Amino acid sequence: MTQSRQSQVSLADTPYYHCISRCVRRAYLCGEDKYTGKSFEHRRQWMVERMHQLASIFSINICAYAIMSNHYHLVLHIDEQENYLLSNEQVCQRWGGLYSMPTLIDRWLKGQKISAEEKKTVLNIINRWRDRLADISWFMRCLNEFIARKANSEDDCTGRFWEGRFWEGRFKSQALLDEDALLTCMAYVDLNPIRAKMTKSVETSEYTSAYERIHGVAFKDEGKLTTSLLGLNFQKKPLFGFVGDEQESQSSLSSQQGIPFSLLDYIKLVDWSARILREDKKGAIPSQHPKLLNALGLDSERWLSLASSFGKDYQGAVGSLEELALFAEHTGKSWIARKNELHRNMH
């Protein structure tokens, strides 16, 4: 039975979630369709631009992403504090960047006189919008519907029926309950093009977060009003930052104001993993391995197995047994999937 999205999200346990959407049709989301010879490579840029635009609107940060030929991966961070601190006017401004503003809200923003009952209605609407700005389901909806409309229009498939026929049902999500799960999932996402033999190195792996971080393109227009190739106007927000070099480890993942690792250490780990995965030489792993593996208590073989199959081996939520038990309690589940215990084979 399909689970409700509410039963898969618990901000009391973690603000980090891995989301995956797949294209349902034979024609690729991106890449080249071998049946028709038609290239859809330009759609990768559509995805990246729309993702960045939505990140600038929602109280949600992008930690990692990879745009593949028929699906994409996102690791998202929900910023509850930012969302709480938004003024009512800021909420309206952000939501108005996605949808048209109701007349009543427009009148209120302009300071026109409204009745007490109308003001109550205005505040109820704004509170509903505020909740949506911190909701990964709304983030994914705004991303997928936009891409579906553009792709179907390009493919000459129009109408609401076709919007629902572009993506394979609802997106899938995983709750990343601790630092180990977050790091492993991010690396798994960034290594997707390497495993798929789409590219030979992390440095050349375009349309991934690792590529953005290495080449600095995520920060190119930070804080400036950007007009994208799609004509989307937004103030570009960088990918969620690494803070491992700036602050000591804190008591809980949710209290961090950034990814709790060093960016340099992360890039070294992903690059090291990519070289081994690309050459398919898992039996000849170099004796020197990245610093982060020691910090996490992982041996090389176990790490490479996780980095290769994380998305397939784990479903729903990932973490220690204690964290899974709390997540189950907070989301109303009466069971815990033992297979989702990330630490079970660690040393």
Structural domains in the chain (count): 2
Do 285 and 224 lie in one domain? The reply is yes
CATH of the domain at 318: 3.30.70.1290
Do 293 and 171 lie in one domain? The reply is yes
Confidence of residue 103 (pLDDT cuts 50, 70, 90): very high
* Domain-located, residue 145: yes
Q: With 90 as the cut, is the pLDDT of residue 126 above it?
A: yes
Do 127 and 212 lie in one domain? The reply is no
pLDDT value at residue 156: 62
Do 37 and 123 lie in one domain? The reply is no
Q: Which of 64, 98, 132 is the last residue of a domain?
A: 132
pLDDT in tens, 200-209: 888 999 999 9
Q: With 90 as the cut, is the pLDDT of residue 118 above it?
A: yes
| Average pLDDT over every residue of 250-267 | 75
Partnered with residue 109 across adjacent β-strands are: none
Residue pair 176/187 in contact by the 8 Å Cβ criterion: no
* Domain-located, residue 93: yes
Do 113 and 160 lie in one domain? The reply is no
Do 249 and 281 lie in one domain? The reply is yes
Do 210 and 279 lie in one domain? The reply is yes
* Domain-located, residue 337: yes
Do 203 and 108 lie in one domain? The reply is no
| Average pLDDT over every residue of 37-58 | 86
* Domain-located, residue 314: yes
Q: Which domain holds residue 94?
A: 87-132
Q: Which of 103, 132, 161 is the last residue of a domain?
A: 132
* Domain-located, residue 1: no
Do 105 and 254 lie in one domain? The reply is no
Do 145 and 287 lie in one domain? The reply is yes
Do 203 and 278 lie in one domain? The reply is yes
Q: Which of 132, 147, 165 is the last residue of a domain?
A: 132
Q: Of the given ranges (109-123, 211-225, 315-329), which has the lowest mean pLDDT? A: 211-225
Greater model confidence, 192 or 339? 192
Q: What is the pTM of this model?
A: 0.86
Do 77 and 124 lie in one domain? The reply is no
